[in-house]
């Protein structure tokens, strides 16, 4: 049963998808008991390597792929028994630039608003075009738009029915840096105004900067689901590079208790866990060894390190 303001914008429970395959390949299990709650109003990231199951999950939510088993709800509506309401609650921006080249941006958005049952008086076609930076291309044929403009038009197309949830499937692939920044500024504004965002991306830096929660999927299974901050703690590691003022032939005895390498005669590299070792303690030990510090740089584990550590192993589950 649907509540007007559900706790979770999307709820997935024990979702499975097996593609039938053929005699040569056989069945392929794309999703394996996936359970996932995406909180209302969140900016949620779904990460995983190619073939991990991200697109299959999104296509099931979009109604483009039929699940094999399990349950999924969008804004409290079951994707099968309440299909119409579920689809009205979600807007999908696909990877593919599937735009009819013979429509103008205005015609395309107005057409889709009509398909969603949005009354003429309630359509926001020009407002949406301005919001995605295409106001001046209102009457240009879509075939004349650049790849970045087409990508933004897809975002506008997904917003014509004012969905509560916006799904962005690799939205900035092939988009230049400036257009990417404009897109994220607009999406952040949508999120700040209450729209739940579900993002899949290969740009891990984007996920780290934008998302407040991230799920990592691999081999059809969710292998990690946590806040971005908690994920960053998964690798409790930091590196400190210290440049010194003279050549060192060997490590001073005062530094033997640390995991430190003498990378070159004037560079000490410390690897340590911030949860147990204070960086100030390392600096004091270097100074107590009679070494003058010229420069200090640090490197912390990034989301990419976490991602690679979680997805590098083989699939150990049963198919």
Q: What is the DSSP string of 232-263?
A: HTTS--EEEEEEESS--SS--GGGTTS-EEEE
Reported confidence tier of residue 309, pLDDT bands at 50, 70, 90: confident
Q: What residues contact residue 294 under an 8 Å CB cut-off, 6+ apart?
A: 243, 244, 245, 266
pLDDT at 318 over 60: no
Residue 206 has pLDDT above 50, yes or no: yes
Percent of the chain with pLDDT over 90: 66
Whether 31 contacts 222, CB under 8 Å? no
Does residue 99 or residue 45 have the better pLDDT? Answer: 45
Higher-confidence residue of 305 and 71: namely: 71
pTM for the structure as a whole = 0.78
Listed by start position, the domains of the chain span 1-89+163-234+301-319, 98-159, 238-299
Same fold, 1-89+163-234+301-319 and 238-299: no
CA dist 309 and 19 (Å) reads 28
pLDDT at 315: 64
- The span from the CA of 156 to the CA of 162, in Å, is 10
Q: How far apart are CA 32 and CA 277, in angstroms?
A: 40
Does the pLDDT at position 316 exceed 70? no
pLDDT > 80? residue 139:
yes
Residue 149 has pLDDT above 70, yes or no: yes
The pLDDT of residue 235:
67
Orientation of helix 147-158 relative to helix 177-192, angle to 10°: 10
Gyration radius from the chain CA atoms: 25
E-state strands within 40-86: 43-47, 69-74, 77-78
Second-level CATH architecture of 1-89+163-234+301-319 = 3-Layer(aba) Sandwich (3.40)
Burial, 104: exposed, middle or buried (Cβ in 10 Å; 0-12, 13-18, 19+)?
middle
How confident is the model over 224-259, as pLDDT tens digits? 999 998 887 776 788 999 999 999 999 999 999 999
Residue 298 has pLDDT above 50, yes or no: yes
pLDDT at 147: 81
Provide the pLDDT for residue 229.
87
pLDDT of residue 314: 63
What average pLDDT does the segment 183-199 reach? 93
Note the pLDDT of residue 180. Answer: 80
Place 87 in a pLDDT band, splitting at 50, 70 and 90: very high
- How confident is the model at residue 319, as a pLDDT? 47
Q: Look over the chain and give the mean of its residue pLDDT values, rounded to a whole number.
A: 90
Quickly name the fold that domain 238-299 has. Answer: Alpha-Beta Plaits (3.30.70)
Q: Write out the two tokens for 19.
A: 């593609």
- pLDDT-derived band at 211 (thresholds 50, 70, 90) equals very high
In whole angstroms, give the CA distance from residue 104 to residue 102: 7
Lowest mean pLDDT among 32-41, 77-86, 143-152: 143-152
Distance CA 301, CA 264 (A): 23
Helix (H), strand (E), coil (C) string for 151-173: HHHHHHHHCCCCCCEEEEECCCC
């Amino acid at each position: 049963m649907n509540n007007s303001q559900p706790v979770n914008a999307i709820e997935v429970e024990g979702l499975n998808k097996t593609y039938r395959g053929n005699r040569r390949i056989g069945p392929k299990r794309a999703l394996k008991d996936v359970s996932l709650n995406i909180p209302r109003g969140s900016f949620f990231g779904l990460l995983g390597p190619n073939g991990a199951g991200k697109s299959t999950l999104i296509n099931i939510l979009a109604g483009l792929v039929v699940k094999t088993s399990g349950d999924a709800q969008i804004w409290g509506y079951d994707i099968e028994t309440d299909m119409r309401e579920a689809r009205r609650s979600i807007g999908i921006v696909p990877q593919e630039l599937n735009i009819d080249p013979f429509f103008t941006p205005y015609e395309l958005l107005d057409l889709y608003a009509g398909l969603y049952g949005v009354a003429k008086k309630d359509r926001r076609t020009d407002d949406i075009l301005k919001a995605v930076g295409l106001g001046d291309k209102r009457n240009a044929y879509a075939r004349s738009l650049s790849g970045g403009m087409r990508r933004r038009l897809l975002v506008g197309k997904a917003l014509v029915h004012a969905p509560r949830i916006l799904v962005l499937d690799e939205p900035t692939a092939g988009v230049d840096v400036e257009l990417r920044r404009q897109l994220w500024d607009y999406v952040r504004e949508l999120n700040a105004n209450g729209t739940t965002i579900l993002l899949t991306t290969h740009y891990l830096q984007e996920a780290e900067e934008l998302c407040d929660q991230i799920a990592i999927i691999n081999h059809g299974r969710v292998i990690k689901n946590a806040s971005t901050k908690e994920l960053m703690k998964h690798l409790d590691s930091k590196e400190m590079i210290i440049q010194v003022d003279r050549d060192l032939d060997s490590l001073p005895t005062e530094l033997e208790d640390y995991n430190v390498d003498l990378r070159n005669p004037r560079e000490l590299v410390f690897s340590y866990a911030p949860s147990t070792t204070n960086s100030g303690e390392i600096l004091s030990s270097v100074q107590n060894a009679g070494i003058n510090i010229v420069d200090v740089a640090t490197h912390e584990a990034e989301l990419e390190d976490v991602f690679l550590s979680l997805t590098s192993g083989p699939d150990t589950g049963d198919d």
